[in-house]
Amino acid sequence: MIYAGNLTALAVVVMLGGVPLAADTIYQTNPQGRQVTIHREAILVKEDFSSLLYKHFDLKERRVVKVRLSKGSLPYSVVTSSPEDRQQIVNTWRRFGYTATVTDQSGKTTRVSDVYLDFYPPGGRGSLLESVPPRTTFPVQLEGGGADELEFSKIDRIEFHGERMKLTLRDGQTQDARFLMPTDRPAEARLLGITEQYDPASAEVFDFSLPLARMKEIRFEP
């Protein structure tokens, strides 16, 4: 059986010229008693009697995600790596996600890798809205009418002017728009990602989080 996790790991190895990276490897013992690789190039976050939680880079979503595996009759095992190896895999994750330079309203600038949008209750109170999936797209209501959801890869920069935004696309076009919240529930959109100070041992998949309402500009790297 081929697991989706193995496909992701294989794709990363191929893109790096076939040189495997050292990181945590998760196995499961099958009914025949053999160990089957569930995921390579992962980082174990937590393990207890009922489940194990790990994080990895998802190539399709182009961001770091967490996966929880429930322990059943077939046991899991994990071969963990050194802190240096975990740092190496995080450095690799940062190469394949979207990277942006974010300027907040105070003028502070931060370079952030593996950026994505996620949604929280207003004011950051409470946990994220799991009913609204995170994304690497920008849903907008265009000033001229109509709506669109722009891939990060198509955006050069976004300038924020209150509730209005000016988007400059990679092809040189500019569009005036407003952010289109993808839910009828009260929510706050945030840009999340990892910086150079990200701790591989962190239980989170980000160390940068800023509401769109506090931004001045997002400038995406090619």
Assess whether 18 and 43 both reside in one domain.
yes
Answer for the pair 118, 182: CB distance below 8 angstroms, yes or no.
Answer: no
Q: What is the pLDDT of residue 10?
A: 39
Is the confidence at residue 85, as pLDDT, over 50? yes
Asked whether residue 91 falls in the same domain as residue 122, the answer is no
Distance from C-alpha of 96 to C-alpha of 101, rounded to nearest angstrom = 16
Of 96, 119, 153, the last residue of a domain is 96
Same domain, 197 and 128: yes
Q: Are residues 122 and 200 in the same domain?
A: yes
Nearest in space to 115 (alpha carbons), one of 199, 211, 194: 194
Among 96, 120, 154, the domain-final residue is 96
HSE on the CB side for 13, CA within 13 Å?
Answer: 16
Length of the chain (residues): 222
Q: Supply the mean pLDDT for the chain.
A: 88
Q: Do both 63 and 153 map to the same domain? A: no
Beta carbons of 59 and 8 less than 8 angstroms apart: yes
Are residue 18 and residue 125 in the same domain, yes or no?
A: no
Residues 183 and 143 in one domain: yes
Closest CA to 164 of 176, 154, 155, 174: 176
Residue carrying structure tokens 């940062």 = 94
96, 124, 153: which is the final residue of a domain? 96
Q: State the DSSP code for 173.
A: -
* pLDDT > 70? residue 15: no
Rounded distance between C-alpha atoms, residue 105 and residue 12, angstroms:
36
Widest distance between CA atoms in the chain: 62
Query: Are the beta carbons of 186 and 173 closer than 8 angstroms?
Result: no
Query: Are residue 215 and residue 143 in the same domain, yes or no?
Result: yes
The pLDDT assigned to 12 comes to: 46
Q: What is the pLDDT of residues 161-214, one digit of tens each?
A: 999 999 999 999 999 999 999 988 888 999 999 999 999 999 999 999 999 999
Residues 106 and 92 in one domain: no
What total number of domains does the chain contain?
A: 2
Whether residues 120 and 189 fall in one domain: yes
Predicted TM-score (pTM) of the model is 0.86
The residue segments making up the domain with residue 8 are 4-96
Q: How far apart are CA 27 and CA 77, in angstroms?
A: 5
